[in-house]
Structure 1
């Protein structure tokens, strides 16, 4: 019986000594947003977040106080001075939690700003792409993206 315990202890020590010698990062620096004058998250609050498993992306929708209030109340009418910012990251496997996914490189930042234009409300949409957040000049599909972003329901918080 003593030999069995000794063998079990030796096997346990051998398995514990196994390592892939891969340095582990404690912080996910890849997902950090670069500081840029092209967008500003200061003062914005999280409205909702979601994952697209098909595309392998994770997104967070931020908004100013007016945008958050409109989202919570379910207003279908766009008001002036609302700011919505949708940040989308690619996903990667989490080294610290088997089977989990975490954000990786920034894929895009979409900014919607509304302004009063006489009796109407003007909607300005910009899409910044890639790590350098270059302005996307292709304007096709903007109406669908605006409708999609404004149609997001806010997360329910206690």
Structure 2
């Protein structure tokens, strides 16, 4: 009889413990995963004032350009700077996670060395950034050291 009661009690506890829904799971936030395709991760940055985090992806030519610390990307370079809003991680106190995608900026140097800049975001067109400044910002990144 004691075993039967113990089994019923354990079953009841395990079933009720699993039934609670986590109602604040998303808090209305949508997370977007960026697929860099053939590009490799180069570096990242964090802007606490804007509450954004960015990741820089690029091909081998872009990595070489940034490693050499030159002012313009080498011919054939492709770089993408992906920026997300960040939010507190509901599962870990003090942690942050990426949230809404803010922008994807692309700097590309064709085979003749002509550099182009493009941005995809939700900002109004009249607030588009200075292309030369943004290219210089890309070139200011330093690749992370990998062991």
TM-score with structure 2 length normalisation? 0.74
The answer to whether the 8 A contact 1:129-1:136 is kept is: no
Unpaired runs of 5+ residues, structure 1, are 1-16, 34-39
The answer to whether the 8 A contact 1:126-1:136 is kept is: no
The answer to whether the 8 A contact 2:69-2:139 is kept is: no
Q: Distance in 1 between matches of 2:138 and 2:33?
A: 22
Shift of 1:67: 0.6
The answer to whether the 8 A contact 1:126-1:135 is kept is: no
Count the aligned residue pairs: 127
The answer to whether the 8 A contact 1:115-1:122 is kept is: yes
The aligned counterpart of 1:30 is 31
SS of 2:44's equivalent?
A: strand
Q: Distance in 2 between matches of 1:107 and 1:49?
A: 15
Shift of 1:68: 1.2
Unpaired runs of 5+ residues, structure 2, are 1-16
TM-score with structure 1 length normalisation? 0.69
Q: 1:105-124, aligned counterparts within 5 Å?
A: 105-117=100-112, 121-124=113-116
The answer to whether the 8 A contact 2:58-2:77 is kept is: yes
Q: Distance in 2 between matches of 1:135 and 1:80?
A: 31
The root-mean-square deviation of aligned C-alpha atoms, in Å, is 2.8
User: Pick from 38, 41, 45: which aligns with 1:43?
Assistant: 38
1:73 aligns with 2:68: yes
**What are the superposed Cα offsets for residues 9-32 of structure 1, whole Å, 9 maximum, x if unpaired?**
xxxxxxxx8x8952536xx96132
